[in-house]
A and B are shown apart, each in its own frame.
Chain A
Amino acid sequence: NAGVTQTPKFQVLKTGQSMTLQCAQDMNHEYMSWYRQDPGMGLRLIHYSVGAGITDQGEVPNGYNVSRSTTEDFPLRLLSAAPSQTSVYFCASLRNWNTGELFFGEGSRLTVL
């Protein structure tokens, strides 16, 4: 099992550019989520999904889009990047809340100039 795989690990964008952060898991987990981590602010939930075809907003959804067409994949799209979106992004998944353990990817460091 590869676990939760995020790509790319590093990315530099210019303001206004678009990009997609990829997240894939091979554990057949129903729940997937995206967080951003900023110094002094912990992890903030951007979007989450409880299953294929179902997504919902987290704490800081503005400027980000997601889709969940398959159980395995949960891409995060930045349509028009802004410097405020400079952050480290983590994708995480779990099978169900009875087990409770969220498995995290290794993170994607994004810099918007």
Chain B
Amino acid sequence: AQSVSQHNHHVILSEAASLELGCNYSYGGTVNLFWYVQYPGQHLQLLLKYFSGDPLVKGIKGFEAEFIKSKFSFNLRKPSVQWSDTAEYFCAVKGNTGKLIFGQGTTLQVKP
């Protein structure tokens, strides 16, 4: 069965700090990987996705993620966070079952 684990549940950073959110998945076959963001009071929006090719994926708002197949990981990074990045971040994985499974989410709080 597919599963996704996000190790950081709540992260607090100051503006301009670097960000890395961990995501590990469990699935034996080919996967598609996603990061979504949910700003306060809003629904989820896609940050970036990995289907194939270059394992370093760039998304919107300066976010990037690296797919490391040997580690079953898809960590999200941003070199310098802003107060407006305060949100909840979700990693998600789709195998060949048609199901998109989300992790538990990481709440990011950026202090001005």
A58 contacts which chain B residues (CB < 8 A)?
A: 99
Cβ of A31 to closest chain B Cβ, rounded Å: 7
Question: What is A's interface to B at a CB cutoff of 8 Å?
Answer: 31, 33, 35, 40-45, 48, 50, 56, 58-59, 90, 92, 97, 100-102, 104-107
Question: What is B's interface to A at a CB cutoff of 8 Å?
Answer: 6, 9, 32, 34, 36, 43-46, 49, 51, 90, 94, 98-105
B51 contacts which chain A residues (CB < 8 A)?
A: 100
A100 and B49 in contact, given A31-B98, A42-B90, A58-B99 (Cβ under 8 angstroms): yes
A42 and B102 in contact, given A100-B49, A100-B51 (Cβ under 8 angstroms): yes
Question: Complex Cα distance A106/B45, Å?
Answer: 11
Contact B103 A48 (CB under 8 A): no
Interface centre among A41, A43, A90, A92 (most CB of B within 10 A): A43
Question: Which B-chain residue is minimally distant from A33 (CB atoms)?
Answer: B100
A42 and B103 in contact, given A90-B44, A104-B44, A107-B43 (Cβ under 8 angstroms): yes
B98 contacts which chain A residues (CB < 8 A)?
A: 31, 48, 50, 56, 97
Cβ of B85 to closest chain A Cβ, rounded Å: 19
Contact A105 B46 (CB under 8 A): no
Interface centre among B32, B45, B104 (most CB of A within 10 A): B104
A43 and B102 in contact, given A97-B94, A100-B32, A100-B51 (Cβ under 8 angstroms): yes
Contact B101 A59 (CB under 8 A): yes
